[in-house]
């Protein structure tokens, strides 16, 4: 096998930036699959991470090759690099650099973006820099199909999720004996969810805790400032007793104010409990015990976070979140016993969505790496060559590491900051999004899972019948990120590629 050892550095850099890209997919996109389950308290953060690790890795390794081939060979005319395949290697490296750089910045800013947009923009930028605009496959078999999927995916996912939730809402939740109707409906939902997961493999508590109703807000008789303190105290876990409206009585006015100081201390402890773990080291940092402490902190730091509480803890940007209490109060609260029936279903749908997410999004980082490896190892271009299994394992592992180390950060910007979540709502959102992603994977169409879950969330939120039950500012913030992603990554990758191939040569 004729390895191009003179370009070993391109292959090595490709491995590094592909890992960074896949790490960001885990840290950014993983919220699409499990933010709803964590937000509705169907799963704890630790449970979500363990389940997601198996599902993301399994989806990437078992059914990820089909879509990876799509990203790699259908966007630009790879046949035009046949005489100089090493230039294609360099182009895919530049695409990975542009994608991973933008993803890292977006993840740090807490902006949930489409990782599919990132790598597609990077590949398009490289294609224009090397071949010109006519070197990019703009037709339906290339970029246009992906553009269409971006527009169609949110609408389809929103419509499917809305239909599922409306059936649940009027067939179960609003019935006089909702618990009995729920027990009857659960087997049908279970069969539907199991069937979706099977097709994918063959083809390739108190859930309203901290979210008051309008009546409860009015009955509490407290000011907005006092309500903010109560909401923060609720999120920090400092309230041992329920809110006044939940007990049917009012606390003295001074009770809330007097506890503000302790509430702030508890909230600060909750948000920084992992930081103190690394600062209290005994002896030099390089001792085995301290090295283990540091490694444990950096890898398991996400477990110590509770995105469901942090979403309403007052730690967010008020310009984006607005008045979450008023928004949540507009959504109808259903019987908790009936909601509990949907908790298990929501976990199943989250697993299905996570499996589908792994199968789709591993291609964003591993598609370009597969091209680099193919050229480096064979010195040829073959658009239909299979993706090596070790590349899928490498990508799946990087996604899982990104999830465990930084996945909590993006989760806080989804979930209850978009609209009120509960198991019945989350089940409909996740199943609607999963159906859309499963169909796209079957068609080898790399859609944006971010758009699917956001579209499904908006669709279910609209089923409340109140336009203000959705945080449109957060939706606009997410859409803004989608709109700028493709041109930004395209400019970074294209400029980098253009500078390298047109740079002066010494000697």
Worst-scoring range by mean pLDDT, 8-22, 383-397, 440-454, 467-481? 440-454
Output the average pLDDT for the chain. Answer: 74
The pLDDT of residue 66:
60
Confidence of residue 394 (pLDDT cuts 50, 70, 90): very high
pLDDT surpasses 90 at 63: no
The pLDDT of residue 15:
95
Please identify which residue in the block is written with the tokens 């030099």.
284
Q: In angstroms, rounded to a whole number, what is the distance separating the alpha carbons of residues 422 and 292?
A: 38
Q: What is the mean pLDDT of residues 159-179?
A: 87
pLDDT surpasses 80 at 214: no
Q: What are the φ and ψ backbone dihedral angles of 136, each rounded to 5 degrees?
A: -95, 135
Confidence of residue 280 (pLDDT cuts 50, 70, 90): low
6-to-93, 110, 343 alpha-carbon distances in Å:
16, 40, 55
pLDDT surpasses 70 at 124: yes
How many CA atoms does the CB half-sphere of 431 hold within 13 Å? 29
Q: What is the mean pLDDT of residues 319-328?
A: 63
pLDDT surpasses 50 at 258: no
The pLDDT of residue 255:
35
The pLDDT of residue 195:
79
Please identify which residue in the block is written with the tokens 């980082």.
365
Look up the pTM and report it.
Answer: 0.74
Burial (0-12, 13-18, 19+ Cβ within 10 Å), 166? middle
Q: Do residues 492 and 106 make contact, with C-beta atoms less than 8 angstroms apart?
A: no
Burial (0-12, 13-18, 19+ Cβ within 10 Å), 32? buried
The pLDDT of residue 21:
93
The pLDDT of residue 251:
37
Q: What share of the chain is helix, strand, coil (3-state, %, to 5)?
A: 75, 0, 25
pLDDT surpasses 80 at 320: no
Q: What is the pLDDT of residues 130-151, one digit of tens each?
A: 988 888 888 877 778 777 777 7
Q: In angstroms, rounded to a whole number, what is the distance separating the alpha carbons of residues 235 and 408?
A: 16
Worst-scoring range by mean pLDDT, 358-372, 440-454, 478-492? 440-454
pLDDT surpasses 70 at 217: no
Q: What are the φ and ψ backbone dihedral angles of 419, each rounded to 5 degrees?
A: -165, 165
pLDDT surpasses 80 at 93: yes
Q: In angstroms, rounded to a whole number, what is the distance separating the alpha carbons of residues 191 and 431?
A: 12
| Sequence-separated (6 or more) residues with CB below 8 Å from residue 332 | 464
| Sequence-separated (6 or more) residues with CB below 8 Å from residue 483 | none
Q: In angstroms, rounded to a whole number, what is the distance separating the alpha carbons of residues 165 and 460?
A: 6
Q: Do residues 123 and 365 make contact, with C-beta atoms less than 8 angstroms apart?
A: no
Q: What are the φ and ψ backbone dihedral angles of 206, each rounded to 5 degrees?
A: -115, 100
Q: Is the pLDDT higher at 104 or at 80?
A: 104
């Amino acid at each position: 096998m004729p390895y191009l050892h003179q370009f070993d550095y391109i292959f090595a850099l490709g491995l590094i930036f592909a890992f960074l890209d896949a790490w960001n997919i885990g840290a950014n996109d993983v919220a699409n699959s499990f933010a709803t389950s964590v937000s509705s308290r169907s799963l704890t953060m630790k449970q979500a991470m363990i389940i997601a690790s198996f599902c993301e890795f399994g989806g990437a390794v078992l059914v990820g090759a089909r879509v990876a081939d799509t990203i790699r060979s259908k966007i630009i005319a790879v046949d035009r690099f046949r005489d100089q395949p090493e230039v294609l290697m360099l182009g895919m490296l530049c695409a990975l650099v542009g994608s991973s750089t933008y993803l890292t910045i977006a993840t740090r800013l807490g902006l949930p973006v489409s990782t599919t947009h990132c790598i597609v923009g990077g590949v398009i930028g490289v294609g224009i820099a090397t071949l010109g605009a006519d070197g990019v496959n703009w037709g339906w078999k290339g970029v246009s199909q992906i553009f269409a999927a971006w527009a169609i995916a949110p609408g389809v996912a929103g419509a499917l999720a809305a239909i599922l939730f409306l059936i649940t809402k009027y067939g179960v939740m609003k019935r006089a004996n909702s618990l009995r109707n729920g027990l009857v409906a659960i087997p049908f939902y279970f069969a539907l969810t199991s069937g979706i997961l099977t097709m994918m493999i063959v083809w390739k508590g108190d859930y309203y805790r901290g979210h008051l109703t309008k009546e409860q807000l009015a009955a509490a008789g407290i000011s907005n400032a006092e309500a903010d303190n109560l909401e923060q105290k609720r999120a920090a876990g400092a309230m041992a007793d329920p809110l006044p409206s939940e007990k049917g009585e009012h606390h003295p006015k001074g009770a809330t104010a007097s506890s503000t100081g302790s509430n702030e201390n508890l909230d600060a402890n909750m948000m920084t409990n992992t930081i103190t773990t690394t600062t209290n080291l005994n002896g030099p940092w390089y001792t085995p015990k301290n090295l283990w402490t540091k490694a444990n902190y950096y890898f398991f730091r996400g477990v110590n976070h509770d995105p469901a509480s942090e979403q309403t803890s007052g730690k967010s940007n008020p310009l984006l979140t607005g008045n979450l209490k008023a928004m949540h109060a507009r959504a109808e609260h259903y019987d908790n016993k009936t909601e509990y029936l949907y908790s298990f279903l929501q976990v199943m749908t989250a697993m299905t969505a996570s499996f589908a997410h792994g199968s789709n999004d591993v291609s964003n980082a591993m598609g370009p790496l597969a091209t680099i490896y193919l050229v480096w190892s064979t010195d040829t271009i073959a658009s239909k060559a299979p993706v090596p299994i070790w590349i899928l394992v490498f990508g799946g592992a990087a996604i899982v590491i990104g999830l465990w180390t930084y996945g909590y950060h993006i989760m806080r910007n989804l979930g209850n900051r978009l609209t009120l979540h509960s198991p019945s709502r989350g089940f409909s959102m996740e199943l609607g999004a999963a159906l859309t992603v499963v169909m796209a994977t079957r068609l080898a169409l790399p859609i944006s899972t971010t758009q699917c879950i956001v579209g499904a969330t908006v669709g279910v939120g609209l089923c409340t019948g109140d336009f203000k039950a959705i945080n449109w500012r957060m939706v606009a913030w997410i859409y803004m990120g989608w709109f700028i992603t493709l041109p930004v990554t395209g400019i970074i990758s294209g400029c980098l590629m253009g500078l390298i191939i047109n740079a002066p040569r010494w000697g």
